Amino acid sequence: MEGRQAVRELLLANRRDTREIWMAADLDAAPVLEDIRELAAEARVVVKEVGRGKLDAAARTDAPQGVIAFARPLPEYSVEDLLGPGVGGAEPFLLLSDGITDPGNLGALLRSAECAGVTGVVLPRHRAVHITPTVTKAAAGAIEHIPMAIVGGMAKTVDELRRSGVLVVGLDERGSKGLWELDLGGRPVALVLGAEGPGLGRLVRERCDEVVSIPLRGRLSNLNVATAGALACFEVARGRAT
């Protein structure tokens, strides 16, 4: 794992064992670095100062920000696991990726989703990006706080969620309703976002309870998937808070 905020959240969440942390020896002092050192000491994780060349050679992203953590893989969850109550007994609020392939977009989306209170994420096993170092860094630690499931077929998963009483809402620029028209509070909700460009796959789209769009007021015809997903997540959060 690379990036200062991502490593800090890794230690704060304490969901998986961390073997050791490398910090570049030439880093200037910063509050987040002090946080990492203190959290590592509490968790009895060794922090090693290493040369910048050695750290950059071990990095899997272009800008590791002088910090790398070596940790066990994330815990694995099933869709059934994600249907349990969230923190504080909150109703499930799930986010489904129907083929997002850009790691920067997925990482940014996960960061927004965690901030909006999403309780679980579902990713497809094939033809989509998973949790890569770039996704991890862009998510700024969000992956440490959101349980995630990997599934073989998204259409089948949508059917499973609907049978379990989850309102499945697809987000697509061709949606017949505006996002703001739905009452998204008071029940389990799953938002489905399609791939950049093609949008929702036909089988997934046909199985959603609702397919909605975000009303646009400018001249451009669509939003980046991470931006659209962030708006939708916070609209669900607003509905659940009222």
Token readout for 33 is 């670095």
What fold characterizes domain 79-241?
Answer: Alpha/beta knot (3.40.1280)
Q: Is the pLDDT of residue 87 over 70?
A: no
pTM for the full predicted model: 0.88
Two tokens, residue 48: 């090693």
Residue 88: count other Cβ atoms within 10 Å of its Cβ: 6
Q: Does pLDDT of 128 surpass 80?
A: yes
Phi, psi of 52 (to 5 degrees): -60, -40
Per-residue pLDDT tens over the stretch 178-223: 999 988 877 899 999 998 888 899 999 999 999 999 988 888 878 8
Pick the CATH number of 4-71 from 3.30.1330.30, 3.30.70.141, 3.30.300.180, 3.40.830.10: 3.30.1330.30
Are 169 and 208 within 8 A, CB to CB?
yes
Annotated domain spans of the chain: 4-71, 79-241
131-186 tens-digit pLDDT: 998 999 899 999 999 999 999 999 999 999 999 999 999 999 888 889 999 888 77
Check: CB of residue 7 under 8 Å from CB of residue 36.
Answer: yes
Task: Name the token pair of 235.
Answer: 């609209």
Q: What is the mean pLDDT of the chain?
A: 92
Query: Rounded CA gap, 127 and 101, in Å?
Result: 7
Neighbours of 172 (CB within 10 A): 22
